[in-house]
Each structure stands twice: as structure tokens, then as C-alpha cells.
Structure 1
């Protein structure tokens, strides 16, 4: 069962025209819409299902700089600053807290990897630092494992995914943004070689610019336009415990080699089997899977391939044309993957072995979310050169929630031509085909 998000009163009226249409009501699209509206630009967000119905409300809520790719670090730093102003900007508490994030290491080789990352980002002046086993005991009391050490960033933190997107949506609406749910965009309208609107299941909306922030759906949408995008899905399973009081436990989020956990605002804990993903084999896996070989060897060491429902579902969607009826975006409005209960039970078991106080925990809710992953783990935030007027923001590879304030602003900057909040070059679409 998916987490329940804070409800938002959206529009039932589809406008005839606007300046910018955002396809996708996840946190990236909503933040981009808010950023544009704050500049006085009319925006309409069109969501085929419900806002934040997929990964935007299903992620862990971590906001971190630690461990980021060096190319992605400026976006993470900018996002952290914006998260710090979010409560005032939205006039709402979205649970943002700089409670710190700690990664533990089981071996000298893992410590060496942390040191290597620290060396690679030394010029960024982060507060990340290596810690000893004794320091870990102080940072996260009650652990019985004798770690080799770890790495800790006090300024990293968390927010609540079930609150954030809704608060951003309400703030955007207050600024004049129109959000229409249950309205799928089928394709683009073009005039003189540039975008002039979108064609939805309920009619056309004319516009000057389109932002595509459709998550795992973006590859399918672009394929209908003859634009290749390298993304494949992975599925993460998550559990949340009932409220739990653990004496002495800090609110620092912790990632060990096989678990991740952090405190939820209600006093429970959100837990996952760190790095353990289900990788559904889909038709696209056969087409572009070879681009991921190096990533599989170097980073994804705990992936579980599965051939089943997703393959057949995707195959059925691919075989039907939207020219003769509803599009794939209407036939499957929300991706709700099966929870891997085995991975969740293993995560809770590993957690209780390391922190025995969690033996008192009871599972309150379990869910799964589908993440769109690029071969290099970096998102695509880029104009689509082949289609003037179209800007893409997808492929966030599990980092979209944490970087969303800056990512949404970067998208808005690209649309308006304003000075970008960070250098957009690492995120350009053309890198996937160079």
C-alpha cells in the first residue's frame, strides 16, 4: 500500500492556453512550476494520475550531499540551501531537519572508498568526515556491531515525502499555477518546428514551452517523438514501523552496508534494505540494457533481476497505439510495484541484529516505488535540441527528492533563459549519445 499524501485541491478545468505546460506532477515538475510562477509566468501542470502518486511520495526522504557524484554535488549543495528556506517559502512545515547522515563501513576497503570520495570533493568544503567505531557508538547509540569506521555529514538531513510535494503544489496554486490531475498528455502539438501545445485526453492546451518531468514514463513519451532517452526501472521496497521509543537513540539517519533507516516524523522509522533493488526485466532492457553493464559491475552489486508482470505489462502497452484510442498513460495511470516482503523482512532482521532495541518494532506500512535510472546515475535536465520548446527533467536515479528544489529551479532557468542555479552541462541529454 502506497503512503498517503497530504491532499491538495486541484483544478477540474483544463485551460485552453498557458505559457508553460509541465507534464508530470511529481516533486520535480511541481518545484519547476512553483519557480516559474514566482517569476510571474503562467504554468499548467498536467498529471495523468494523482500528484506525487509515484516515487515522489515513496522515497526515503533523505537529503544528502554525502556520497554524491562530484558532477552532481553543486546541485545537492544548492538544494540543501533551498530546503533550508522551504518552510518560509511554502508557509508549511515539510519535515525538513538537518539531523545528519551516517554511513558505516564493515571493512578497510569500504573506509578507503569513503576516503577516496572525500579526496575527490575536497575543494567543496563539505563538513563530511571519517569517524571511528567509538564515534559511531556516540552518534547512533545501542549498536552491537564493531564497525571498521564510517563517514558522517552533520549538515545532511531529511524531509517528509508525503508532505513536501503537496505543500509545493499548494504554494504553486496560490501563485496562480493550474494543476489538473487525471489528465494524461498524449503528445505535443508543433508549429513551424517548435512546440505550440500539448494534446491531452481532454483536448489541446496551447503553450510556448513544455517541461517533461514524467519519471519512468518520460522514456516512453519521448520515444513517440523519436527522441531516445536511456533510463531503465528499478524497484525499491520500504517499510515504516509504528511509533517507537528507543532510549538514547539520536535522529541521525544511518546507512550500513545492508540497511538504511531514519526516524519518521510520527516517531516510527522508515527502513529499507540498502542497495537491494528488484530490477524488472522489461522490453527496454533488451534494447538498452548493454549501456548499464559497467554500472552493474561497479555499483549495483545487490540487484535482483525479475522477469514477470512488468515485462508483460510493458509489452502490452507498447503494442497498442494511441492513434486508435487511449494512450499508455491513460491505461496505466499509476505504477504501483509489488512489495518484496523478503527484502523488507531481511532489512528489519539486519537492523535488529545491529541495534537490538529495534526488536520492539512492529511494521505499520510497506510499499514499493519504481525509480528511473540512467547509466551514469545523473539526471537529464536539458533542452531537447531536436524539439525546440521542450525541456526534459527525468532520470534522477533515486536522488530526485533530495535535489528537487535546485533541480526544479534549474529547469525553470533553462526555460526562461535566466542564469542557471548550477552549471547544467553535466545533465545535458546529448551526453547519453556521445
Structure 2
């Protein structure tokens, strides 16, 4: 993964009591904690591994509204505002820049999809528009992609995963919150049918509310409580280049590559057309729920049987409060990079924009994404267990919307007016 910059020292000891416990110190959990602590509500963030060490620190850094489901766009718009306000709010730069995002295609079918999307979001005033080949050449000069067209949203942007979580964590601590790393939550304690605390590997913490922002691990945690959440894993391999001159500041997504400028002068690149889909026992349990999306994205995932299947097969699905959990056995999920996919991305990118012939690869990594059947997250209270709020299942989109998603989770935990309508994110839709 990318080295995270200036991680703060975590809180040494767990408290006996707090008001809200946030499980997970990724972008969503830290954003929820920051919102709560700014409202004067005591918060403790518990992280089984390190701050931002999984997908929040491994993603592409895109902050986009383009091609999101129309019902999900208001959350992305709220996130734009919060990203822009972040330096004044926390006194640190997360690398956010509204430099725009462009998707390009050679497919008439894909152009039709872009046209349909623009019609569906026409009332939201995004400033997005379709581009002809000459427009693409002006925006991203030096190309030889023979594009049919594309869609461009100038108000989309980017931020730096290597900076954001560390900066948010420092702000949470500076404002009086607590963050305890290497402290897995094993279960929840209840009283009178509602949440009364969390049971950790270091002991119990009494609390009134719990926000579960545990990403990939949320399904297993909830399963032990008898709560159903459908997610399956995907693995995205990523690389970054050394600093170089590039074609533009705008992030660009093609059919088999994407690139975006980094604050350090390099580019973050991935094979946008394909992800690895490691088979797990959950595919047997949940596979039918994913058939529509698999048919729609045929060829976009490489299904394979590897160590993930064995890891999942041997990992406990149920445990007692005094037993070691899967979260303690795997502190940080660190999947293998797929060099072939990264090589495909670089070859396609160099063909489309020859300036990348000069690119020198500085590092590569992979991240595991938790994907819901409709690729939208769950941000909701749990009717069966009052006091538990979910903010998970972001399907690879969580970094961009993270500040607003965490804010919405904090709203639900404190009965504040929600920053956006939470209806699209209800758990009951599954």
C-alpha cells in the first residue's frame, strides 16, 4: 500500500465509558468521529489494525459524481462541499482538488449510457456534459486513442488517500476524541434490547451508540450478531509512477485504464476494465443476488480460486466474547498485486497517451473492496438492535463520499437532520 503520511500516535488505553464507539478508522469512520466530536459528543474510534491501512489508504483517490446512481449523487455532492471545507476544518491539506473527471469510450453503447445518465441527473446541476473527440483532444492533449466521445464533469475531483485518514485522525485527537489502534471489537453488549457497549479484545467499553464502519469486515461482524449484510470481495491492483510531466490535471477513465495526477507529481493508474474476484464460500451463499450485476459487467471481473477461499473457509463465522476473532488473526487485509492487470493498464495508457512511455513505476499495491449487490452502501440504523448504525458496503466508492457518508452516520447516531436523504441506503432493501 501507499505509505500513510504523519500517522498520529493512537490512544494508549481504552476508556471505561464513552457516548459513541466507532468501529473502524478508515475515511468513513474517522469522518463520523470528527462530526460527532465537533458536536461535543464523546467518541472513541476502535481499529483492529492501523489507521487507514486497508481500502481507505489503497484506493485511487477519485472524488466523483459522474456515473453514480442518481439517488447516490446528492451524497457525492455533499462530499464535494465537505472535502473543499476540510483544510479550514482540520487545519491540514488532504490533497483535494476539483480538477474534473473525464470518461472516454470508443463504444456507441457506452455513449448511450452516458447520455441516459446525464438525462437522469439533469435536475442536479452537476455541470457534466458529453464531449466530442475534438473536445477530448483539447482537454487532454497528445492523445492517440481514437475516441468516439466521453463525459466530463469539471466539478469532480481527487484527494490523497495517503494524507486524508492521517489528517482526519489528528483532528479527531486534537478535538478531544480517542482513537485506539490494534484493538479489535469482538461483539456488542446489550441492555433492555439495545446497545449498551462494545466488547473488545482489551475489555468492555460502555456506550450508547455504535457506528460500524468496518468495510470488508462488517459482514462477518454482523453475522456473528445474527444480522444479514450481503457483500462480496473484489481486489483492485494499483500502481503509481514517479513524478513526471503528464497530459493534464483532469482524471481520465478509459475502457482499460485510468489515471489521475497525484500531489507528489506522479500518477495513480489502474486497469479500470477488470478487477480480480477471489472466490469465497460466500459466493455460494450470495451468488444469486449478484447475477444481474455480473451479467451487466461481463468480463469486468477475473474470477479465481486462491488463498482468499482457504482464508475465508478457515475463518470463524461465529465466536464467543472471550474467543479470539478473525479480526485479531488478520489485522490488515493485504491482498497480492496482480502484475498482469497493471501491465495491461500501462500498455493501454501508453497507446492512448504516448507521454506515458516516459513513466517510471515507483510502487504497486492492491486493496480488497466490499461490494453490495447494487454497488451502493448501507448507511442506516438497525431496527433489530437499537443503537447500532451501519456505514459500510461502499463498493469501492467510499473514499470519495467518505466525509459525507461519515457525517450521515453521525446524524443517524444523534437524531440530527440528515445531511442527505438516507432512504437510498436502507439495509432493508436487501
Tell me the equivalent position of 2:307.
309
Tell me the equivalent position of 1:350.
348
1: CA distance, partners of 2:56 / 2:66: 21
2: CA distance, partners of 1:322 / 1:268: 47
| 1:221-260 alignment, distance < 5 Å | 221-246=221-246, 249-260=247-258
Tell me which of 247, 271, 274 is aligned to 2:269: 271
- Cα shift readout 1:108-144 (whole Å, capped 9, x = no counterpart): 2221111111011111111000011011011111111
Q: 1:210 to 1:15 in 2, by over 3 A?
A: same
SS across alignment from 2:2: coil
The CA RMSD over aligned residues, in Å, is 1.1
| 1:189-200 alignment, distance < 5 Å | 189-200=189-200
SS across alignment from 2:35: helix
Tell me the equivalent position of 2:416.
418
Tell me which of 384, 387, 408 is aligned to 1:386: 384
CA contact (8 A) 2:224 2:318 kept: no
Q: 1:44 to 1:389 in 2, by over 3 A?
A: same
CA contact (8 A) 2:316 2:325 kept: no
Tell me which of 393, 396, 415 is aligned to 2:394: 396
| 1:4-153 alignment, distance < 5 Å | 4-6=3-5, 7-153=7-153
Q: 1:319 to 1:380 in 2, by over 3 A?
A: closer
Tell me the equivalent position of 1:171.
171
> Bigger shift: 105-114 or 186-195?
105-114
1:217 aligns with 2:213: no
In structure 1, runs of 5+ residues without a counterpart are none
Residue 299 of structure 1 and its aligned partner are, at CA, apart by: 3.1
CA contact (8 A) 1:282 1:310 kept: yes
Residue 175 of structure 1 and its aligned partner are, at CA, apart by: 1.2
SS across alignment from 1:189: strand
SS across alignment from 1:304: strand
Tell me the equivalent position of 1:207.
207
- Cα shift readout 1:331-381 (whole Å, capped 9, x = no counterpart): 111100010000001100111111111111111100000001000111000
1: CA distance, partners of 2:220 / 2:108: 43
| Equivalences, count | 429
CA contact (8 A) 2:259 2:270 kept: yes
SS across alignment from 1:222: helix
Residue 79 of structure 1 and its aligned partner are, at CA, apart by: 0.7
1: CA distance, partners of 2:404 / 2:273: 25
SS across alignment from 1:275: coil
Tell me the equivalent position of 1:294.
292
1: CA distance, partners of 2:273 / 2:290: 16
In structure 2, runs of 5+ residues without a counterpart are none
CA contact (8 A) 1:75 1:403 kept: yes
CA contact (8 A) 1:275 1:300 kept: no
2: CA distance, partners of 1:324 / 1:278: 35
TM-score for both structures, normalised by structure 2: 0.98
1: CA distance, partners of 2:321 / 2:310: 21
1: CA distance, partners of 2:421 / 2:60: 27
CA contact (8 A) 2:27 2:165 kept: yes
CA contact (8 A) 1:11 1:179 kept: yes
Residue 250 of structure 1 and its aligned partner are, at CA, apart by: 1.4
Residue 320 of structure 1 and its aligned partner are, at CA, apart by: 7.5
Residue 9 of structure 1 and its aligned partner are, at CA, apart by: 1.6
SS across alignment from 1:261: strand
1: CA distance, partners of 2:318 / 2:64: 41
TM-score for both structures, normalised by structure 1: 0.97
> Bigger shift: 312-321 or 117-126?
312-321
